[in-house]
């Protein structure tokens, strides 16, 4: 549940900030008459995301066990790829997100209402589709269909409240720290989903080594115990892990976490000062 709360909170806050920037731009430029276009695009994005989640949940039913495992493993790896891209994208573009969106808004407003609907739908829909895919993958990894969804819904609800608070000016968040720490936590969660995807592909007989076990601590950490359930729900920890799962987890988490932390710890370049300022460059 915690992992999906985290993804719902992060993706939901990203979407809330995007919507807040779009709405604030129209309010500041005196084009409140175009707000229904923005909300239409947001509604369309939400509907498409829910439809994608439903398709992922009910689509594979009726297939053979190996086919379901093949689909589950493949989509889990795809979900890890999307989330990894999202983490680095936000780390790279968070400082310029407002100016980038406002520039696109100016073009969309000049082009007409349809462009505005499309812009808001794409901006929010990307977050929604990533959320649907990753929540589905995490639900498959934990073997539960209710707790992951409840966690994601709770995270989205908290994100909406935070987004409204930020937009109204009643709440001030250190977004750099928020995205830094949630990004690092999501790398760990994504590593667990990746290991689960590898295990699914082993059960589908696409990858070898299903019976080659790296470690088995089921006696120490029973899967049915409260702490086993906690570890499974937070980081998708499996007490019985194959060698290939362990290799995949290590080869993903260690370098990705290192690269992510280096990217968020690298300060933005400062503008260089002009050693020979012209009269126009001197502030008075």
Please tell me the total count of domains within the chain.
Answer: 1
Q: What is the pLDDT of residue 267?
A: 56
Q: What is the pLDDT of residue 284?
A: 29
Residue 180 domain boundaries: 2-266
* 283 located within any domain: no
Q: What is the pLDDT of residue 40?
A: 92
Q: What is the pLDDT of residue 246?
A: 93
Q: How far apart are CA 102 and CA 105, in angstroms?
A: 5
Q: Nearest-CA neighbor of 241 among 232, 252, 253, 230?
A: 232
Q: Nearest-CA neighbor of 139 among 240, 252, 3, 242?
A: 3
* 272 located within any domain: no
Q: What is the pLDDT of residue 233?
A: 67
Q: What is the pLDDT of residue 251?
A: 95
Query: Kindly report the CA angle at 243 between 85 and 144, in degrees rounded to 5?
Result: 60
* 281 located within any domain: no
Q: What is the pLDDT of residue 79?
A: 87
* 123 located within any domain: yes
CB 188 within 8 A of CB 43: no
Q: How far apart are CA 73 and CA 204, in angstroms?
A: 9
Instruction: List all residues 6 or more positions away from 232 whose beta carbon is below 8 Å from its beta carbon.
Output: 141, 142, 143, 223, 238
Q: What is the pLDDT of residue 111?
A: 75
Q: What is the pLDDT of residue 143?
A: 61
**How would you label 137-156 residue by residue, b for 16+ Cβ within 10 Å and e otherwise?**
bbbbbbebeebbbebbeebb
- Is residue 242 helix, strand or coil? strand
Q: Which parts of the chain have pLDDT scores under 70?
A: 1-2, 94-97, 113, 141-148, 170-171, 173, 233-234, 266-284
């Amino acid at each position: 549940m915690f992992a999906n709360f985290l993804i719902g909170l992060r993706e939901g806050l990203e979407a809330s900030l995007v919507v807040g920037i779009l709405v604030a731009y129209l309010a500041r430029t005196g084009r409140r008459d175009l707000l229904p276009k923005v909300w239409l695009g947001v509604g369309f994005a939400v509907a498409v995301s829910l439809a994608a989640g439903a398709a992922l949940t009910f689509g594979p039913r009726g297939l053979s066990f190996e086919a379901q495992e093949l689909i589950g493993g493949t989509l889990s790896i795809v979900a890890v790829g999307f989330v990894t891209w999202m983490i680095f994208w936000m780390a790279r573009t968070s400082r310029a997100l407002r100016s980038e969106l406002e520039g696109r808004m100016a073009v969309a407003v000049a082009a007409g209402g349809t462009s505005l609907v499309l812009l808001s739908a794409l901006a929010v829909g990307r977050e929604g589709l990533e959320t649907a895919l990753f929540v589905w993958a995490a639900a498959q990894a934990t073997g539960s269909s209710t707790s992951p969804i409840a966690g994601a819904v709770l995270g989205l609800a908290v994100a909406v409240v935070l987004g409204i608070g930020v937009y109204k000016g009643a709440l001030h968040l250190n977004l750099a720290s928020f995205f830094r720490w949630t990004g690092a936590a999501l790398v760990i969660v994504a590593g667990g989903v990746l290991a689960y995807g590898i295990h699914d592909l082993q059960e589908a007989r696409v990858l070898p080594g299903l019976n080659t076990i790296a470690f088995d601590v089921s006696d120490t950490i029973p899967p049915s115990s409260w702490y086993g359930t906690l570890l499974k729900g937070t980081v998708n920890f499996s007490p019985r892990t194959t060698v290939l799962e362990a290799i995949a987890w290590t080869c993903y988490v260690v370098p990705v976490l290192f690269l992510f932390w280096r990217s968020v710890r690298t300060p933005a370049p400062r503008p260089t000062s002009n050693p020979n300022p012209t009269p126009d460059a001197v502030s008075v």
